[in-house]
Structure formats: C-alpha cells, structure tokens
Amino acid sequence: MTALQMNAELYRAMGVIADDETLMAKVLKYVKRLAAKKEEDSTLMTKEEFFARVDKSKAQYERGEYTRFSNEDEMVKWLNSL
C-alpha cells in the first residue's frame, strides 16, 4: 500500500468516527503518542535511507572492508567493545 493510499484510507476511517468526540479524542491521543515515538527514535529511517545503507555495506564488503569472526565469543567481544 502506498503512502497516498494509506492517507486516503486514514481519512475515510476518520470520516466514520468524526462525529464521535470520544473516539476522536482516543485517535488523537494515539497519534500523538506515535509521533512522539518517531521523534525520539533515532533508529527510524526511510525506505530510501535503508537501501542506501544496504548499498553502501555491499560496496564495503566487495572492497574487503568487513570484520570476520571465527566463533561467537569473538563476535560478542567485538560487539561489547562498541
């Protein structure tokens, strides 16, 4: 579903409950909570940002720029050092 389709779906659903003040208050409270989570979560990224990072990582791998571990303990030790 595209963003435009989701937007239209949201407005249709909102039209159904628009005359119910209690339901609208619940929707508003939930939407504000979601917006606050997005603002505070620096790990969220757009689809384009995600795929750009994947492409960058692929290029680094192809250039031999990666870390290899021979066992799980080595990996855990490296992760803990970050």
Q: What is the pTM of this model?
A: 0.43
pLDDT digits (tens, 9 = 90+) for 28-68: 999 999 888 777 767 778 889 999 999 999 999 999 999 99
Distance CA 37, CA 42 (A): 10
| pLDDT score of 12 more than 80 | yes
**According to DSSP H, which parts of 1-82 are helical?**
3-17, 21-40, 47-62, 72-81
